[in-house]
Amino acid sequence: MMVIMQEGATEEQIAHVVARIEEIGAAAHISKGERVTLIGAIGDREELTGLPLEACPGVDRVVAILKPYKLVSREFRPADTVITVRDTKVGGGHFALIAGPCSVETPDQVLTAARAVKAAGGTMLRGGAFKPRTSPYAFQGLGVDGLKMMAAARDETGLPIVTEVMDPRDLDIVAGYADVLQVGARNMQNFLLLAELGKLNKPVLLKRGPSATIEELLMAAEYIVKEGNRDVILCERGIRTFETATRNTLDIAAVPIIKLASHLPILVDPSHATGRLDLVLPLSLSAVAAGADGVIVETHPNPEHALCDGPQSLPTEAFAEYAARVLELVAWTGKTTV
């Protein structure tokens, strides 16, 4: 349930409400808006309803959050969450253009991609060092060496880096390099990993599982936020359907649905959604038009020789033209990339 404080409620009044909530073993999550403070109370429903919080000084009203996800819901936080990653922002009018290779392969490959992304106005560099591959015999990524190559590309270009963590045991090492920790689609419901990420002070990019509903994605985000880390960026990357023309089916409606249901930023990954280079631009444009807070796409200096996902990777030499088209539409929607 949610306690809406009166405008001008004092810190003592807020602390008192928090103490009453915690007395019964429930958790209190404070969200300070420009004018009013909201306190989300998560715990036993019966016990919470029995608490006479409306009688506490400074409380305006108490309302139930009916959705199964609470902290990530719009009810809990009406304003968009804006996440700062180094000197760039995502959400609330800030658009992220994230690009880079599927997998880190060589220092030169990452640097070439990073320079092109930076020059074209991209805001972050993506690249996997720990790769979740369908086949156990496929290239599994360079691990820590790959993280070092990403960090070197960040040092040169200034682009923050987004990279995947698959296993809670690798969390410290990956968090030591990454600016944004990616949870891949296959791990969306790895609840132990999500809870550990929730204890960090670093943004998480949470990709929708190939067979997950929008509600399940939001519940997965709730696992992270519940532990204290509020910086979660959601990502629609295509779901499994009967259609075979594309690798997955991009659920573009997920973007406005999530914007209505949640305050968290939502990105679109047209590369994994389609598996097709020729669909990356049109679906990036649809993502912008649908209200996405960013796109994350794959680009490789030599897609023909990529160790992973070559057919869906934009050749790096074509990235500037792609980015110009996307950023033109972003500007038209009134969003910025800073």
Residue 237 binding ligand PEP, by CB under 6 A: yes
| Angle, vertex CA 163, rays to CA 99 and CA 246, nearest 5 | 55
The whole-angstrom separation of Cα 148 and Cα 128 is 12
Residue 184 binding ligand PEP, by CB under 6 A: yes
Which x/- pattern, by CB under 6 A, does the window 39-78 give for ligand PEP?
Answer: ----------------------------------------
The three-class DSSP label of residue 148 is helix
Spatial CB neighbours of 7, under 8 Å, sequence gap ≥ 6: 35, 36
CB of 186 to ligand PEP, least distance (A): 6
Other CB atoms closer than 10 Å to residue 23's CB: what's the count? 10
Residue 272 binding ligand PEP, by CB under 6 A: yes
CB of 141 to Mn ion, least distance (A): 11
Nearer to ligand PEP, 61 or 305 (CB): 305
The three-class DSSP label of residue 229 is coil
Residue pointed to by tokens 């004092």: 10
CB of 207 to ligand PEP, least distance (A): 4
Out of 17, 102, 174, 183, the only residue in the binding site for Mn ion (CB under 5 A) is 102
The whole-angstrom separation of Cα 218 and Cα 273 is 19
Give the containing element (helix H, strand E) for 235: strand 232-236
Residue 293 binding Mn ion, by CB under 5 A: no
Q: Which stretch binds ligand PEP (CB under 6 A): 140-148, 181-189, 256-264, 324-332?
A: 181-189
CB 61 within 8 A of CB 4: yes
Closest CA to 326 of 296, 305, 300: 296
Binding positions for ligand PEP, 87-116, rule CB under 6 A: 102
Nearer to ligand PEP, 185 or 193 (CB): 185
185 binds, among Mn ion, ligand PEP, none (CB under 5 to 8 A by kind): ligand PEP
The residue ranges that bind ligand PEP (CB under 6 A) are 102, 128, 132, 184-186, 207, 237, 269, 272
